[in-house]
Structure 1
Amino acid sequence: MRLHRADDHGDIPEHLSRGDAISFLNRLAYLVSVGKISQDARIKDCRNVKRALGDLRNRGKRLPGNDIAALPLEFSFFPEDIPRQDISDEPGRCLPEQVLAQLCRSLPELEERSGSSIRVATELLIDTGRRPDEICRLPWDFLATDASGKSMLIYHDYKNNRSGRRLPIADATAEVVRNQQRAVQDQFPDTPLGELALLPAPKRNPHGTRCLTDTSLSSAHRNWVDALPVLLADGDIEFNKQSVFPYAYRHSYAQRHADAGVPPDVLRDLMGHRSMVITQSYYRITGKRMRQASSE
């Protein structure tokens, strides 16, 4: 509002209009286009503002004199204003193996720039294929073992409000977690383990109980990727850095397992989907797999 309304900076509620709402939406779209925020953050901001505005209006009806009552009805956000979550397998959603390898080799630089929480969060996104908020909000003690002694990640599916989800993880990934647990425990020795975040926010977090946000992760990740040397895909073709964002690791996880021959129903469970159709939108049948199938 302060950028759009030079006269009153949006401080006079009764002057706001539908045009101001559209200006706000366009500003978020612009920030995505220049890499300042992620598409996920844009969608979340749109939803939160729409919900908050509705809540305030309802409260204003019950509380005479509340300034929110002065808001014109045309200053509203409609369902069609909320960008749709893109889960299609568009080019660039899945990162080429060569690009992913370059990113993994550069993880120490990410830690040097932004700290261990950002680096470990990124490594877990790559290894587990979880959504960014599922990783960022992990508690300190979320590891478990199955009957065979293999490590399991216990997480909450916030998108579908399903708790206690279990995902098998590699021993190397489990070791990354244990190293982070030790580091966090050493950093906040007086905080009970049950209150610690695995990935503590780096600022205004004296007791280590406040977790990293996916918005902070996206911003630090964007800055890291932009500062890297040119990323090269197969054939030493330059890869578009704008296609490297935290959610792309989830698509890469699906493609990696599909290429390894994991059955679709098993991959659906690994991804945490209810629908096979959703899972199939996360990967493509590559030419290599088609050639293998035709030769069998």
Structure 2
Amino acid sequence: MRAQLTHSLTYRYEAPVQLGEHRLCLRPRAQGHQHLIEHSLQITPEPSHSHDLLAASGDAIQRVRFFGPTDALRIQASSLVVTHPAAPLLDCFNGLEPPLPYPRRQLNQDLLGALEGWLPNGQHDPSAVELAQDALMGSNQQVLPFLHQLMEMIQDRVKYTQRHAGPAWPAGRTLRERIGSCRDLAMLMTECCRSVGLPARFASGYHLADPAPQSYDLHAWTEVYLPGAGWRGFDPSAGGEITERYIVLASSSKPDLTAAVCGTFSGPPGTVSELSWLIEAMVESESGQDHEPSLIQAA
């Protein structure tokens, strides 16, 4: 798949403010099954300082600083991305996949951070552990049946809903409320996978569905590390493995580190800010013709 993406965000402030440092995760991943052909970033007001960095996850992140007051911040990221289908997982395993739960001693030490629980004491949420155990019972302790059984059970127990504001909910709250956004379901699946020894992390990006919807939005899913196959994406909101129509922006063991834009501002007490955004995607069809772009705009 070949896609031209434009992601625009505008922050407006009711009074002039001083912008703090901002962290931007708007550059699509450039390795693996995804290739970044072109990328540009326009920021108004122009930053007084900007530098790229390689995050712990391997993603390209940009940090910017500003000088002087402003009543608006405008960011526009334009990217041309080409994606390719991943090799079938069964071909990667070659019949040598060990049963679950995975023993930690067989994992690369670099992956241990993707096994930790999110409770304050570092333990896994008991409700997520229970859900994972239920999925194990119906999968004969095999990894692919477990992942598909887990996604099926998440969809059965949690109703998907859109929720644009706020961080991802802990797994226990999502199961208790029986409702959640894509990032809530992704966090739930990540926690369940970790509890059975599968390294897992939170991923954020775009899902350019076919046929194209009337609007696109940021999306979240889970990446699971599978020996012989590497990091592979699974979308509990859709109930399946991700395809070449998913474009990754950022992934992390901590969901808040995948936010497209994260920063601060200071101004008069009680200053109100307002965010509007627009995501536009032009996807090349199988015949080589371009689809009409899909948009999302919100205030």
Q: Give me the TM-score of the superposition, normalised by structure 2.
A: 0.28
Q: Decide which structure has greater strand share.
A: 2
Q: Decide which structure has greater helix share.
A: 1
- RCO (CA 8 Å, sep 6+): is it higher in 1 or 2? 2
